[in-house]
Amino acid sequence: MKEQVPGSSQCYDQSGVDQVVDCQQQMERKTALEAEIRLGFEREEDDLMVVDKLLVRTICLGGFAALITAAESAQLVRGIVLLNSAGQFSNANTKQSKENGSETALQKLLVNPVKEALQRIFLGFLFWQAKQPSRIEKVYINTSNVDNYLVESITRPAGDPNAGEVYYRLMTRFMSNQSKYTLDSVLSELSCPLLLIWGDLDPWVGPAKAVRIKDFYPNTTIVNLKAGHCPHDEVPELVNIALLDWLSSLEPVAGPQASA
């Protein structure tokens, strides 16, 4: 985070990455990328010593990745804060069709390549559309804090030559395994407190999703704000208050025991 949320940095240590991930290096590791979704960090369990658990705050698609991280690495994460998170709940019909379906030779040799080509065209268009400045500006209801610097900071990572390929692989991974990468499957593995700060006027993700998340995972606190997809940009003071109130409600973590 290049700019700290006002006030929170005075009480809590904030760490972030002030650089764009080098997509070129990531794409050179094709085998690893195709094998699994890479989350925010890699670790060696035997060499890891956790002094303070992480409090993860993120938005949209990053929110879903953060949930997976917290579910798979509970020993590292103390709590999750999501702002208008992406992700879908599972569909019973999709599960049933997946179980009943089996690939034929015709599908593997003819249908699948055509399907992949069409997916690339469709997702390529969605990616191009999503990174347009005019499209980004539309998700803000209150544009008083929206300037060229903010828009450029969002579009800059999408300008990487391999960003489109990363987007394609991420989206197709979700689409090809809709029973695994769902909110209910991830939330069922979650064990830490969850805060949802939700811009109710978001044209992409409505507040009903926040309610459904809380119904499924009761250890959830919801703060509804009159803002769009990025409430931290539109009403940063209110987001900061909600964040600090929630942090103060968490149970303190016992410090490391001194060895004799």
pTM over 0.85: no
CA atoms within 13 A on the CB side of 225: 27
Classify 87 as helix, strand or coil. coil
Whether the predicted pLDDT of 258 surpasses 80: no
Closest residue by Cα to residue 193 from 232, 221, 225: 221
Which has more confidence, 211 or 71? 211
Distance of CA 46 to the CA centre of its chain: 27
Residue bearing tokens 């991280």: 69
Least confident residue range of 5-14, 61-70, 205-214, 248-257 = 5-14
pLDDT of 257 reads 47
DSSP state of 158: G
The hierarchical CATH code for the domain 1-8+52-89+183-250 is: 3.40.50.1820
* Residue 79: both structure tokens together: 């709590």
Confidence of residue 198 (pLDDT cuts 50, 70, 90): very high
Whether the predicted pLDDT of 76 surpasses 70: yes
Which has more confidence, 41 or 205? 205
Which H/E stretch holds residue 196? Answer: strand 194-199
CA distance 63 to 84: 8
CA dihedral 111, 113, 115, 119 (to 10 degrees): 180
CA distance 212 to 257: 40
Q: What is the length of the chain?
A: 260
Mean pLDDT for 15-23 is 36
Amino acid at 151: V
The strand order across the sheet containing 54-59 reads 54-59, 77-83, 194-199, 220-225
pLDDT of 106 reads 65
Structural domain spans, the chain: 1-8+52-89+183-250, 103-181
CA distance 220 to 211: 10
Whole-number Cα distances in Å, 181 to 68, 139, 188, 260: 9, 25, 12, 45
Which has more confidence, 3 or 112? 112
Confidence of residue 90 (pLDDT cuts 50, 70, 90): confident
Amino acid at 29: R
Q: How high is the mean pLDDT of the chain? A: 74
Residue pLDDT, tens place only, 133-156 = 888 888 888 888 888 988 998 888
Helix axes 112-130, 163-176, angle to 10 degrees: 120
pLDDT of 199 reads 93
Residue bearing tokens 């060696």: 44
Mean pLDDT for 19-42 is 39
CA distance 148 to 68: 33
pLDDT of 24 reads 35
